[in-house]
Amino acid sequence: MKVMKSCTIIVKTVLLAALLTTTGLAQAQAWPSNRIRLIIPYPPGGSQDPMGRLVAERLTEKLGHPVFVDNRVGGSGIVGTEAMVRAAPDGYTIMLASSSLAITSMLMHTSFDLTKDFAWIGTFARTGFILVAHPAVPANTLQEFIALAKAKPGQLNYSSASTGSAPHLATASFESLAGIRLAHIPYNGGGPSLTAVIGGQVEVSFQTPVAAIPMIRANRLKGIAITGDKRIAALPQMPTFVEAGLPTFNLVNWYGVAAPAGTPKPILDRLSAEISQIANNREVQEKLAGQGMEAYFTTPEQFNALVRSDLTTYGAVIKAGNIKMSQ
């Protein structure tokens, strides 16, 4: 009797697995049959908005159904992210994600867990952070700036988009690795942060290439160095931090697409394949390169590992700097 009961359980388990597989395949074959919502958890016109709209446009072409952008603004990206997490896991709600999400999840109260509530589909682009300085700062190279900062501990100011933003944590990590101390002046957004260094209210700032490149070309800012493993085509003369003598400083900002946990694997695989084609499209690559970015594709497994790595890396910076949102 025990043997028969065990066999019955095994048969039922196999049948259930087969049913789930068939259901998943059926869902994938029928998907998409309607329009798809791409949540961008930041306002229109911000630095992340063009990335999301690029993906929406390309996926619309490839999937044969409209992919419309839904800018869900609020709480440093939390409002839009929570809306995605709560959505039905059916492939009709996806979200533009960036590395700032890992920082936000550790510094602010959120209802989601990046390791449990997300299906990480794939990244399609990444970019470094440029250390820019006001033209009056008497330093043109990384080593000259580090020497200047050591000579004036705590006297040089830097701006960031806000406390806990990626530029804030990038600077905190830079201070630790270079053995220097700067004074943090947080602003309400990337635009005011950039304006502050252009106007000379602060000496330096970490900025994204898309914001910094026009100002560097116009000689309104000096580009000291960029994070990442290679120089960018838009500013080929500017060295990486590795080349400039700080080999362990290599934080980068990535952009990718996520879905709610529980989204059927065949749908995730289809989306991953389409995002891979977007990242490998020459026109897209040239467009990204013009903005100081590079196409960067990761599989769902690689993307999941990248997010966990970011949680570890940024978590260490937050702990070492005792960084809190109240600062």
Position 297 in a domain: yes
Asked if residues 301 and 127 have their Cβ atoms less than 8 Å apart, the reply is no
Which structural domain, as residue segments, surrounds residue 161? Answer: 130-226
Residues 45 and 120 reside in one and the same domain:
yes
Mean pLDDT of the chain: 90
Residues 307 and 221 reside in one and the same domain:
no
- Judged by phi (left if over 0) then psi (alpha if -120 to 50, else beta), residue 10 lies in alpha
Position 241 in a domain: no
User: What's the mean pLDDT in 160-175?
Assistant: 91
User: What's the mean pLDDT in 299-317?
Assistant: 95
For residue 37, give the CATH number of its domain: 3.40.190.150
Within 8 A by CB and 6+ apart from 108, the residues are 75, 76, 78, 164, 325
Tell me what pLDDT residue 18 has.
Answer: 47
Residues 257 and 120 reside in one and the same domain:
yes
Closest alpha carbon to 325 in 143, 162, 193, 101: 162
pTM of the model: 0.84
CB burial readout 91-113, b (16+ within 10 A) else e: bbbbbbbbbbbbbbbbbeebebe
Within 8 A by CB and 6+ apart from 242, the residues are 229, 249, 250
pLDDT at 175 over 70: yes
pLDDT at 20 over 70: no
Give the Cα separation of 319 and 312 in Å (integer): 11
Position 242 in a domain: no
Q: What percent of the chain has pLDDT over 70?
A: 90
Residues 122 and 258 reside in one and the same domain:
yes
Give the Cα separation of 57 and 277 in Å (integer): 13
Tell me what pLDDT residue 12 has.
Answer: 52
pLDDT tens profile 73-131 = 888 889 999 999 999 999 999 999 999 899 989 998 899 999 999 999 999 999 999 99
Tell me what pLDDT residue 45 has.
Answer: 75
Position 13 in a domain: no
Position 19 in a domain: no
- CA-CA-CA-CA torsion sign (266, 268, 271, 272): negative
Final residue of a domain: which of 208, 226, 244?
226
User: What's the mean pLDDT in 125-142?
Assistant: 97
Position 150 in a domain: yes
For residue 195, give the CATH number of its domain: 3.40.190.10
User: What's the mean pLDDT in 212-226?
Assistant: 97
How many structural domains is the chain composed of? 2
Residues 122 and 143 reside in one and the same domain:
no
Residues 134 and 222 reside in one and the same domain:
yes
Position 243 in a domain: no
Residues 165 and 193 reside in one and the same domain:
yes
Q: What percent of the chain has pLDDT over 90?
A: 75
**What are the φ/ψ torsions at residue 137 (nearest 5 degrees)?**
-70, 125
Residues 167 and 303 reside in one and the same domain:
no
Position 276 in a domain: yes
Residues 192 and 115 reside in one and the same domain:
no
Residues 221 and 72 reside in one and the same domain:
no
pLDDT at 218 over 80: yes
Residues 145 and 217 reside in one and the same domain:
yes
Tell me what pLDDT residue 14 has.
Answer: 47
Residues 143 and 216 reside in one and the same domain:
yes
